[in-house]
A and B are shown apart, each in its own frame.
Chain A
Amino acid sequence: MRKLIFLINKGFVLFKRNMAINLITIATIATIFFVYNILFILGFSSNKFLENLAKIQTIRAFINDNQSSEVKNIIKEISQLEAVKDVKFYSSEDAFEYMKEQLGNSREIENIPKELFPSFIEITLKNEYTDVDYVKEFQKNIDKYGIFTTTSYGEKWVINFLTIKFGIHLFIFIISLLISISVASIIYNTIKINLAKHKMEIMVYSLVGATKPFIVIPYIVCTLFEVFISFIVAYFTAFIIFYLLNSKILDTLSINILRFPPFYLVGSILAIAMFIAAFSSLYSLGVFLNNAKEYNE
């Protein structure tokens, strides 16, 4: 532990000694992280928005007229299901009134005979059961009763929303991948420059008997510190911008679509970024030390 603390301190000393290049690196990585955080927050908000849109609150099951006698019993059975919050029956007349209301009390609809409107039940689901996969399963069970001609929950829209949601996920994934590559290559090159600057020191350390961890760990600590600072600066800048946008503009327009990712998600992204940085700096150090060894020999 004492050795680790010693090497961590050396990492901070190294950071101070290469302040100019480290600050440039921080500024570069922070800019990349800032753009990433902006896109991530927008992606996260859109994802949540679509998730809400894609939630299926109600299912309509249209009843085959010949079997309407069984409806009462089946409604009773369905209402007792765990996922169901409420079940309402709409007779042909109710369906007519419902449609009339939906169409703004249009007169044209009155020309259609009421009996042509199919009776149906509207099943309202509990919030925790509104996921599309569950609803599909639920629909299959409803169909088993055999008295319904069609069961509908707005599949077309849900599928559209889910496609957009998948598109956003893919976009965020590709952006994350590109950002990871950029950060890794910046770290790789920064370490390379730092190592070239300290080539003589590393050689001397090696000649007087420094172990590999003694040489490597301070550089990794320095890199992790850079990435940590960059990410925190970038995230909080993005957060403040969105917070002001939300509170000063969107809230006043009653547009409530911005959502900030939870802390664990931000922390996970930071952890992944630091892992990539550590890996990249280790790789850079490995390449440098191998080359130095070959050069010495």
Chain B
Amino acid sequence: MMVKFYNISVIYPGKKRALDNITFTIEKGEFVYITGPSGAGKTTILKLIYSEIQPTEGVIHIAGKDVSRISDKSIPYLRRNVGVVYQDFKLIYDLTVFQNLAYALEIFYMPQKEIKLYVEAILKKLELYTKRNMLVKFLSGGEKQRVAIARALINNPPIILLDEPTGNLDEKRADSLMQLMDEFFQDKTVLFATHDKALIEKYPARILELNNGRLVFDSSLKNEKVNISD
């Protein structure tokens, strides 16, 4: 078991419940869609996994470790095991492609020579090598996304989180992203937050469907969708 949520609730200060009593388990190497309408709690689940927020109630286990009340000091070490691709990429636009990737390795106090080797290898894999000295702000949307994926992959984390990565992409680019993932995320546990039903139908995998902070459907349980008013 790689990710386990047990009775997780999240209440933002002064707001309604973002998540309401969610329980699920994701095995190592599994690919899971987290779907549902905007505001359903998809991003909240991802934020819980990389400890940007902590649950109000419940227990979260990541790779067997309880991270529901993780200390501030331990968060960085957890995040090193989780690669995240954000919808807005969260790249540094005034730095080059190379520098953006090097950032993710500098935190390991790696010598520059070694960083160069790692970064160039991943850039070659993702066909970004020729763009390595280009400022990110001059890249196309698809290229930025590949840089974001490269950054998520560069330190070989076991868990990959993708937050609406196809949100701004047309169908062709979305397809090419899925092919990239198929190629590079083989041995990873992947949580893919999306509300793109067409994409889910085209590339089927386990689905966790949320609505209004509740888990209404888990395809692994082969259950019927729960009426959220229940």
| Top-6 shortest CB links A-B | A209-B79, A209-B80, A210-B107, A208-B104, A209-B76, A211-B76
**B53–A297 CB distance below 8 A:** yes
Residues in chain B near residue A203, CB distance under 8 A: 90
Residues of B whose CB lies within 8 Å of any CB of A are 12, 50, 52-53, 72-73, 76-80, 84, 90-93, 95, 100, 103-104, 106-107, 109, 151, 155
Q: Tell me, in angstroms, the Cα distance from A162 to B155 when the chains sit together.
A: 68
**B107–A208 CB distance below 8 A:** yes
22 contacts between A and B (CB under 8 A): A2-B109, A6-B109, A200-B92, A200-B93, A204-B91, A205-B103, A206-B76, A207-B52, A207-B79, A207-B90, A208-B80, A208-B104, A208-B151, A209-B76, A209-B78, A210-B76, A210-B107, A212-B73, A214-B76, A214-B107, A296-B52, A297-B53
A173 shortest CB reach to chain B, Å:
39
Instruction: Sort chain A's interface into a size bin.
Output: 10 to 19
**A209–B77 CB distance below 8 A:** yes
Quick one: closest B residue to A289, CB to CB?
Answer: B72
Does residue A201 face the partner (Cβ distance < 8 Å to B)?
yes
Quick one: closest B residue to A201, CB to CB?
Answer: B92
**A207–B107 CB distance below 8 A:** no
Q: Tell me, in angstroms, the Cα distance from A296 to B54 when the chains sit together.
A: 12
Residues in chain A near residue B100, CB distance under 8 A: 204
A151 shortest CB reach to chain B, Å:
69
Q: Which residue of A3, A206, A207, A297 is within 8 Å of B109 (Cβ)? A: A3
Q: Which residue of A3, A207, A212 is within 8 Å of B84 (Cβ)? A: A207
**A201–B80 CB distance below 8 A:** no
Residue among B76, B78, B93, B155 with most chain A CB within 10 A: B76
Residues in chain B near residue A2, CB distance under 8 A: 109
Q: Tell me, in angstroms, the Cα distance from A207 to B79 when the chains sit together.
A: 7
**A207–B50 CB distance below 8 A:** yes
Q: Tell me, in angstroms, the Cα distance from A126 to B155 when the chains sit together.
A: 75
**A211–B107 CB distance below 8 A:** yes
A39-53 contact mask (Cβ, 8 Å, vs B): 1 or 0: 000000000000000
Known: A209-B76, A296-B52, A297-B53. A204 touches B90 (CB 8 A): yes
Quick one: closest B residue to A296, CB to CB?
Answer: B52
Quick one: closest A residue to B105, CB to CB?
Answer: A208
B44 shortest CB reach to chain A, Å:
11
Quick one: closest A residue to B79, CB to CB?
Answer: A209
**B103–A208 CB distance below 8 A:** yes
Q: Tell me, in angstroms, the Cα distance from A52 to B53 when the chains sit together.
A: 67
Quick one: closest A residue to B83, CB to CB?
Answer: A208
**A204–B109 CB distance below 8 A:** no
For window 166-205 of A, CB contacts with B under 8 Å fall at 200-201, 203-205
**B52–A204 CB distance below 8 A:** no
Q: A208-B103, A210-B76, A297-B53 are in contact. List 13 more A-B contacts (CB 8 A).
A: A10-B106, A201-B92, A203-B90, A204-B92, A204-B103, A205-B107, A206-B76, A208-B104, A208-B107, A209-B77, A209-B107, A211-B76, A214-B107
